Amino acid sequence: MERFSLKGKTALITGGGSGIGKAIATTFAEYGASVHILEYDLNTANQTVKEIQEMGFTATAHRADVSNYNQILSLVEAIGVQNSIDLLINNAGIAHVGTAESTEEADFDRLYKVNVKGVFNCTKACIPFMKKAGRGTIINMASIAGSVGINDRFAYSMTKGAVLSMTYSIAKDYLEDNIRCNSISPARIHSPFVDGFIKKNYPGKEQEMFEKLSKTQPIGRMGTPEEIAALALYLCSDEAGFTTGTDYPIDGGFIKLNGK
């Protein structure tokens, strides 16, 4: 018996071109899922698909703007006509540094459109297909910033708090439809996303900030995308069939052990 098998399942993964999304797409493909990567940067999505196919597994890339509901709906319907939609990973997201004072309205709106509305758009588009199939699993990528205060992350924390609330509501509303919904809250994960974030916001201090941010995890390092992907694999497998409506921090002890 193969544990954590995703054979016969179709997975939609937003932001699957790099970092955590790429690791999830690769892991899911390795465990038998037919993977569809929904990505704003089609070049990175195509590269991920190429690597997955070279390993002998199945993946397809789609150019997608998660903040555009009509575009997402059309894409999901096109996929759903030919396949079941079994797994949705709402991973696409953007970051921002700033307090309530320093955050501009345009930045606030931009984060909301991607990090909050993007989750809503993809979930709304996929749920009818899951209801029709009588099953489905949704994973929302939240963050420890949605649960605890982090300096200079006002707008970003707002969006991740919303992701947590949406997770609980979705899980509650679709219990009778056999649709499970959980969230994952990583601390800092070493990925191109983090490298780009440090380069943009701390120019000339990249190495210093990398070491500083790494040490904010009590375990003494950043996590890896593959560690997040392993948790996502479990939550989407049949072995997690009793699990819904829960947030899973994967944070090197950040929430519970800081200051101890």
Query: Mean pLDDT per segment of 10 residues, for the chain of length 260 residues?
Result: 91 97 98 98 98 97 98 98 95 94 98 98 98 97 95 96 98 98 96 85 92 92 97 98 98 84
Annotated catalytic residue, options 31, 40, 69, 156: 156
Confirm whether 156 is a catalytic residue: yes
Entry pTM = 0.95
| C-alpha to C-alpha distance for 27 and 40, rounded to whole angstroms | 21
Domain boundaries, the chain: 10-186+225-246, 190-222
Instruction: Tell which CATH architecture fits domain 10-186+225-246.
Output: 3-Layer(aba) Sandwich (3.40)
Q: How far apart are CA 229 and CA 237, in angstroms?
A: 12
Number of CB atoms found within 10 A of residue 225's CB: 22
pLDDT of residue 192: 82
pLDDT at position 160, please? 98
Whole-number Å distance between alpha carbons of 53 and 76: 22
State the pLDDT at residue 201: 82
pLDDT of residue 259: 55
